[in-house]
Each structure stands twice: as structure tokens, then as C-alpha cells.
Amino acid sequence: MADKKVAKAAKTAKIVVCGAGGAGRETMDMLESMNADSRWDIVGFADAGAFEGPVRGYPVMSEDDLLCYPDPIEAVISVGLPASREKIFQKFSKNPNVSFPAIVHPTSIVAGGVCLPEAVLIGAFCTVSTDAIIGRGVFLNGHCIIGHDSKIGDFSALMAFSFIAGNVIIGKGVSAGASSTVVQGLAVGDEAFLCVGSVIVRDVGKGAKMMGNPARMIG
Ligand SMILES: CC(C)(COP(=O)(O)OP(=O)(O)OC[C@H]1O[C@@H](n2cnc3c(N)ncnc32)[C@H](O)[C@@H]1OP(=O)(O)O)[C@@H](O)C(=O)NCCC(=O)NCCS
């Protein structure tokens, strides 16, 4: 019989943070804080060129480097603009070595039974409540709350302290500025933009820019 004391071989995956700006550095902090068990070999950042390495002591590979990366590697998309999130996802999906695991900060709570698809990034102190549906590539910055039965569309990005009440439908590619609130039961159309501190009390159309409390359409 095998010796039970023999430790299982450590499974170390390479991981890279896509985007070396503020969101990327926040993600790097998060990965480092979650890596006490050395689950990851943190390779560094990948960036389109705005940032030359090293950042936080890590190298910054070019997008072409990641596109041609020869080994299996996990990627965490760490930019705030929904359109950029989707573009990065589509681009690196062309390399079969690149995968996009859902990453959740350990202080966040995701209700049992909620599925997190690929490329989801959930920062610290978030709550995703019962029977919420989270789309691919969604980004929840710190302290966001997603109410029960709400749906967040693909690649939407909710900044810190966004509060989405229950039974809300947030479309695809929506940007919610910090401290946005959406009242229960409403729908926010694809690619809408909710300015900082907006309180959404009516349904929002596709691509609308909303500001204020109660929020009015400004574009
Ligand atoms: C929409 C936004 C980009 C401001 O855009 P802007 O067009 O540059 O706005 P300005 O700063 O020129 O302000 C224009 C007017 O709107 C007002 N205003 C700007 N943002 C406002 C807001 N969120 N709520 C209410 N009024 C606002 C300004 O006071 C100003 O009013 P005035 O003309 O009477 O002086 C900003 O409100 C926003 O929501 N950004 C998202 C940022 C964010 O969440 N970042 C997350 C980082 S983690």
C-alpha cells in the first residue's frame, strides 16, 4: 500500500496578468495573497505596450509573446473597459495554451450553485447572491454586491461598491462606475455606462450613459 505520508505532487500552473495598469497591479496583489500554497508560478504581466517591464518586479511580455506562448498558461484579464476585456479574451483564445480561469478573492462570497464561467474576475469583499448568473469575462471590482436572481452579461465591468439589487438584468459590455446602484427588477441594456454614484431607478436602454440620483440619461 502506498505511503499515505507521501505528499501529492504539487500542481503548479503558470499564470499571467493581462494588463499592467492599476487593475493589473491590483490583480497581482490578489494573486500573490492567494499563492501561499504556490499553486501558481506567477510569470508576470502581458500588455499591449503601454507599460514596459518590470512592473512590481515582474517582466511584461508583449501581446505577441502571449499569443505564441508555448506552454499551458492561465491568464487573468485585468482591464476595466468591457470592450477591451472582450478584445483581450478573443485575441488570446486563439492560443490553445492560454486558459482563463475564474479568479475570486478569498474574502468574497459566491453563493453555492452559482457558476462562474471563464475569464471572470472578482475582487475583494464582493457578494454574489443566490441564483445570480454571471457571464463570461465579467469583472467585479472590490465590494460589489450582486443580488439574488440577477444576471450580469458577458464582459460587463462593475467598479468598486456597485450594488445590483435582486432580479436585475445587466446586459453585455456594461460599465458601472464606482458606487452605482441598480434598483431591483430593472434591466440595463448592453454597453450602457453608469457614471460614478448613479442610482438607476428605471430601465436603461442599450448604450445609454446614465448619471446622477435618480439617474438621467446624458448620452
Ligand atoms: C462620467 C464620468 C467619466 C465623468 O465624465 P466627464 O464627462 O469627464 O464629466 P466632468 O468631470 O467633465 O463633469 C461634467 C459635469 O457633470 C458632473 N458630474 C461628473 N460626474 C458626475 C457623476 N458621476 N454624478 C453626477 N454629476 C457628475 C460634474 O460635476 C460636471 O458638472 P458641471 O458641468 O455642473 O460642473 C465619471 O462620472 C464616471 O462615472 N467615471 C467612471 C469612473 C469610475 O468609476 N472609475 C472606477 C475606477 S476603479
Predicted confidence (pLDDT) per residue in 102-155, tens digit:
999 999 999 999 999 999 999 999 999 999 999 999 999 999 999 999 999 999
CB 180 within 8 A of CB 186: no
Pocket test for ligand 1, best of 144, 211, 217 (most atoms within 8 A of CB): 211
Domain boundaries, the chain: 13-99, 102-211
CB 46 within 8 A of CB 62: yes
Q: What is the arithmetic mean of pLDDT over 46-63?
A: 90
Please name the CATH architecture into which domain 102-211 falls: 3 Solenoid (2.160)
pLDDT, position 5: 45
Q: What is the arithmetic mean of pLDDT over 58-69?
A: 96
- Per CATH, the number for 13-99 is 3.40.50.20
Judged against a pLDDT cut of 60, whether residue 9 lies above it is answered with: no
Distance CA 11, CA 16 (A): 16
Q: Whose CA is nearest to atom 16 of ligand 1?
A: 211
Predicted confidence (pLDDT) per residue in 157-202, tens digit:
999 999 999 999 999 999 999 999 999 999 999 999 999 999 999 9
Could you tell me which of 94, 74, 81 has the C-alpha nearest to residue 50? 81
Distance CA 184, CA 204 (A): 13
- Within 6 A (CB) of ligand 1 lie 141, 159-160, 177-178, 195-197, 211-212
What's the 217 CA to ligand 1 centre distance in angstroms?
13
Taking the model in full, what pTM does it have?
0.93
